[in-house]
Every structure is written in structure tokens, then in C-alpha cells.
Structure 1
């Protein structure tokens, strides 16, 4: 891991477990205005250090800083792959995550925190929920607030549960697969593949990067079924009606936009296996007429996903046919 020394502003490389405490910067990649690029990383580092008042008594040990735009050699495909697969871990280990909002003026009465571009980007999802502590700064590096104090507002802006965005330890399996997918359903990335790659850490997977694969990246992400018993991965809704046949997996993460409040049936484990012929699920099927559908649907079988949305009755569960 490559970090910037806050005193010398030089790079330092750390390998394995011997990584000192550090801060990490979260930002959007700008096309105009104040740019955070390799050529001026020392300027950015000094602003982060000076505006944050470091070293301070509360963070006196955080004398190193991570900035993705200059601490990662993107010309090396091997380093880029390792960085993307490690990004979740890096933000989780950080003692403090500093969020720089380049399009927000905290002293402008008409400025809208909720409209910041930072809330629309795919990569910033994990940067919001994973770090131990998160602080927000506006375009002039003025302090705006802490994640722990802004929890209700952050939940309203992102549609993510308050207990997730208000801080604490993020434990993936506490949240259904469909719910975690929904967190990114309205977000965007410059490259199509990155909308899948930015979720590797959220789902605890490590996969090779194949830029150019397009929508197939999201299908590969759904390989999480190999290590999961969570059937909510099939609780997607097609973006547009189609008369043709399609597979059991979602084509886009946007097909999970509705799943923000998915509740799993307690103590249920499904068994399914990905084979060279497709997906095999061992589960009892249900007849539709036992679930309120007319008897002329007897040619259709239902498979319960053992989950429901929060607005559904506690005895009602989603099924696919």
C-alpha cells in the first residue's frame, strides 16, 4: 500500500500487515475546477493536513494519507487490479475518511448537500459506509459535519438504512444481497464495468478486472451465489417488459432499485450450485393456486425466495415462477 507522509509529502510503501495508521481521501474525479491529479498531489495533501488541523490531539497518530489518484499506479494493470480488490479493505482500515465535496459551498444558503455529485457515484458507496470515521468538507475545505451526526440526512439522500450510514462496523451478511444491490442501483460510474467492480468489497468477492467486457461484469459479480445461500439475488424486477426469455440473473444493477427494504426469512438456508449447464437449486416448489392464483395456472410452479419487502405482510414472501 502506498501512502503520503503528511510531514514530508513524500510517498511511502507498506506491505502486508505492517501498515501504520492513516487517513484516506474520498472525492469525485472532476473534469473542471479544482482537480485532484498526480501533478499536484502535494497541494492536495497540504490542504487536507492544514484544513483538518493535523496533527491534532484526537488524530495525532494519523500522519499518513491515502489519495487514490496518486497513490495507485494506474499504468500497471496488476497494481490496478490489486488496488480495486483491496479498496474496500483500505477504507475499512483507515482511521479517518475525509470526504471532499468539490461542488458544495456550506456557507451558500441555496446550496444543497443532497445534490452533491459525490452521492451519485459508484465508488463512493463503500467510502461512505465502510470507514471507522467520516468527515465532510466543502469545496473550500470548510468542515461541514461528521457521518455520525449526519446519519438521518445521509439515509434520506442515499436511501440506505440509518444503521448503515450512521457508522459502526459494516457486516455484509446482516443485509440481504438484494438490499445491498439497491444501494448502488441509482449510482453511476464512468466505465460500465466499474458499476460492478466498485461492489466487490460490499459483497466480499475478489475477481479479475476485464475492462471491455461491458454488462458481463455485472453477471460475473453475481457469482457470489457460489458462496451464499441468499435467494434475494433473484428478487430483481426487469426495467422494461419483454416477451422473450431471459436468464435467472439480473441484467443490470438498476433492476434492484426497488429492493431497499428486503427482509430475509429467519433461519433459512437454500442450496444451489453453478454448473456448466446453469444454476441448480434444490428447493421445494409450490403450486400457484395455493397462493391465490387461479387454478388454470397449474402448469406453473413457484419457488419461494424466502424474503419479503418491509411493506408486505409478515406471512407473505416473494416467489419466482
Structure 2
């Protein structure tokens, strides 16, 4: 696992034996604006929104999350040019979110903490990859585009957090209403075992991904299965392989439930 140091923005590779405590991030990508691994040695370009966002995550953790010096950001902690590494990362990603001390969800389209309707309508709730980023972590702290704390979801956000930071208002009931995901699952992923594979598939209805195959790949960790990542295989083939992997684990998965977004009710009618 490759992590980014919050002090000097350098990358370092860790294995399970020496993995430090880390914060993990969740965000929507800016098209052609994101900082990649190859950008870091040359310094971030502050004219690009995605580069400013990486710096913002590092600054936020450095100033607000006590005892954490490392963060994981998908855009620059994965070598996107290496297909083997990308496939391995996608299969491992849910575990990385699960083991993080805290997940920081940056909602760029929420300008302030004073408008609840803006939070409910954030496009963050309509994306495929953000589903695992919502479900897996012990606690998710939602931040505005100005890096203000909106609130948090998670069991620990109501009592003691794994690390010291401001988690704000407990938002699990509101997030459950937006996403139609049970509060028990939002607060503690381990309760997922009480829900069928088809129930979990329903949580993804209406969510979109840029790459059509990612509609299947973003669900691997949620179903607890692994499979090779083959961009170019198409949505249908990726879905069928996902179904086969889930059924090989002993559950049934009805793909007819995974209707196109135009036939689904998106969160809050978005």
C-alpha cells in the first residue's frame, strides 16, 4: 500500500507488517485536473483543482487529525499506468477503507455547512465508487468545499473516534434517508452479514461511474469477492463475472435488479 506523507507530500510503500495509522480520502474526480503519482515529484500545480485538493487533504490532516502523518488518495497513491497494480488496488481498496482510522469525504459541491439541502443533493451520493467509501470506514467525516466539518457517520462518531478530530454532528440518520441504506450498516459495516447480496446490490441503484466496467468493479469489496480487472470488457461481461464470483461464494445475485440509472430512483430524486 502506497501512502502520502502530509508534511512533505512524498510517497512511501508499506506492507502489512509496517503499515502506520493513516487517514483515507473520498472525493469526486475533476476531469483532467487530478494529481497523479507522476505529478508529485515535480510539485503540485495550484492552477488545477485536483492538485489543490491533494494539498488541501494533507493540510487538513496535518492541522486537524492528531497522530496521523499518512493519507491515502486514490488519484496519486495508485500507479494508474500499471494495469496489474490498478487491478490489485481495486481488489484491495475496500479493505484499505475498512482499516483506515478515519475517512475524509470532500464534497466540493457543498459550499457551506448552513445549507442542509446542498448536502443532501451532493453528487457524491450518486457515484459508484463512493458507495464503498461510505460503507467501509469506521467513521466518515463529511467536509465542505471550504474544508468545514458538516458532520459524520459511523458508530465511533457518536462516542470515541479512533483518532482525535472534530467529527461534528452525527449524520447517520440523514445519510440513511439520502441513500436508503440501513443505519445499522452505515454505523458498523460488520452488520452487513445480515443482508443478502441482492439487498447490497440495491444500495448501488442509481449510482454512476465514468468507466462502464466500474459499475461492477466498485462492488467487489461490498460483496467480499475478488476478480481480475479488465477495462474494455464492457459493462455486461463485468456484471456477469461479478455475478459468477458472488455465486461461487455461496450467494445468489439477481442482475435484473441492477437496472440502468434511467430506470432507477436515484437518491433524493437526483
TM interval, shorter chain, is 0.7 to 0.9
Contact conserved, 1:2 with 1:72, CA < 8 A, in 2?
A: yes
Cα deviation, 1:202-259, whole Å, max 9, x if unaligned, reads: 111110011111111001101111121x44x24xxxxxxxxxxxxxxx256228999x
Contact conserved, 2:25 with 2:104, CA < 8 A, in 1?
A: yes
Q: Which runs of 5+ in 1 are unaligned?
A: 235-249, 259-321
CA drift of 1:5 comes to 1.1
Specify the SS of the correspondent of 2:171. Answer: helix
**Rounded Cα–Cα distance in structure 2 between residues aligned with 1:110 and 1:251:** 34
1:19 and 2:31 are equivalent in the alignment = no
Max Rg structure: 1
For 1:317, the equivalent position in structure 2 comes to none
1:124 and 2:130 are equivalent in the alignment = yes
Tell me the TM-score normalized by structure 1: 0.67
2:202 to 178, 182, 190: 182
1:211 and 2:231 are equivalent in the alignment = yes
Contact conserved, 1:182 with 1:254, CA < 8 A, in 2?
A: no
For 2:98, the equivalent position in structure 1 comes to 92
**Rounded Cα–Cα distance in structure 2 between residues aligned with 1:88 and 1:171:** 16
Contact conserved, 1:219 with 1:251, CA < 8 A, in 2?
A: no
Cα deviation, 1:148-175, whole Å, max 9, x if unaligned, reads: 410111001101111112x224344221
**Rounded Cα–Cα distance in structure 2 between residues aligned with 1:10 and 1:103:** 28
Q: Relative contact order, CA 8 A, sep 6+: which one is greater?
A: 2
1:137 and 2:143 are equivalent in the alignment = yes
More helix by proportion, 1 or 2? 2
Change over 3 Å in CA distance of 1:253–1:202 after alignment to 2: same
CA drift of 1:7 comes to 2.0
For 1:160, the equivalent position in structure 2 comes to 181
**Rounded Cα–Cα distance in structure 2 between residues aligned with 1:153 and 1:178:** 23
For 1:113, the equivalent position in structure 2 comes to 119
1:226 to 248, 251, 261: 248
**Rounded Cα–Cα distance in structure 2 between residues aligned with 1:117 and 1:198:** 17
Contact conserved, 2:35 with 2:54, CA < 8 A, in 1?
A: no
**Rounded Cα–Cα distance in structure 1 between residues aligned with 2:260 and 2:4:** 40
**Rounded Cα–Cα distance in structure 2 between residues aligned with 1:136 and 1:12:** 26
2:86 to 63, 69, 80: 80
CA drift of 1:45 comes to 4.2
Q: Which runs of 5+ in 2 are unaligned?
A: 45-49, 155-169, 265-270
**Rounded Cα–Cα distance in structure 2 between residues aligned with 1:107 and 1:180:** 30
Specify the SS of the correspondent of 2:141. Answer: strand
